[in-house]
Structure 1
């Protein structure tokens, strides 16, 4: 059994809550990474690159640990949409998504900082939004204020009321941490969850 410490390269309370369901001890560390997409980079490539970058940045502070990096990028009508950061941007995002399907790319990296071994994969989730009315969008945003969530909605909260369908292999991926992928990656590094 691998006894390396486990570090989540994120300060997201949602990712921490998800990781805690595996009942493994871990700590968190903020990854100071510019999340701006590079020119010509696809949404999947952006999420992949940022998950790796977050893990690598945190690995410098924890050279003996297993580092978990994750990043999520949403794609609507061929354009990447990120965290809205404020009410007006969230209104614009949700208005643009009404009646449409948004693809969320949630990349996951597990980096063994001691050996340099790195695994990265991406979970793809397609989310179809209801044909939302303006007043529904306003009420939702006032109640949940999802300004730090890609796509302006929390599927694990009241945001589920905005959605008509979710397609994907891991329900946790949409919240920000693909646990099914993570369990498999951890096992390859000698960490057993069960």
Structure 2
């Protein structure tokens, strides 16, 4: 990956997952930490939260890099009214997966572009994941083998986590990894930063 400071594109993230996904497009970019508060507001719907945080990340970096196009992204997972964040510990991951066992969980992955301190484009991709009925032993084995402690919902679908599901519904499977590449391509094309130029 090119990391030139003259790159017109900045990923407002230090997530290795989003960095790896964006690298697939072969466009030069650099990563800058957005340093944003990700606390949900009272009664904020998960889709609105994802969009607001994607905007906030893009804007935070855009203010200090006004000439660049800044890409911000955020993902929010919810089982009904319960938000599922990054577990951070083995016990929390096991608890989250037990909560999801046999249930459907909605993931909302938003991507925003900002330039000159203003949001210029945004898209949010919903994904519905249906979990198998999991035993405590299956949950413990999965968490021990994959250690998904930095993943919303406590799994990595691109790895062993796919075994936890009976179904996955989305217009863009990369959204579940943290950056919807189909939507990202559309947004970048609109700013003449596309992979495949006309």
Decide which of 136, 139, 152 is 1:137's aligned counterpart: 139
Decide which of 176, 186, 195 is 1:184's aligned counterpart: 186
- Asked if the contact 1:4–1:64 (Cα under 8 Å) also holds between the matched residues in 2, the reply is no
Decide which of 5, 11, 15 is 2:14's aligned counterpart: 11
In the TM superposition, what whole-angstrom CA distance separates every residue of 1:106-161 from its partner, at most 9, and x where no partner exists? 011011237x3521110000001111111111111111111111100110111111
CA RMSD of aligned residues (A): 1.3
Match of 2:167 in 1: 165
User: Taking structure 1 as the reference length, what is the TM-score of the superposition?
Assistant: 0.95
1:192 Cα deviation from its structure 2 partner:
2.1
User: Taking structure 2 as the reference length, what is the TM-score of the superposition?
Assistant: 0.93
Match of 1:36 in 2: 39
Query: Where do 5+ consecutive residues of structure 1 fail to align?
Result: none
Query: Where do 5+ consecutive residues of structure 2 fail to align?
Result: 1-5
Runs of 4+ in 1 over 3 A off after TM superposition: none
User: How far apart in 2 are the matches of 1:155 and 1:25?
Assistant: 27
User: How far apart in 1 are the matches of 2:44 and 2:86?
Assistant: 18
User: How far apart in 2 are the matches of 1:183 and 1:63?
Assistant: 21
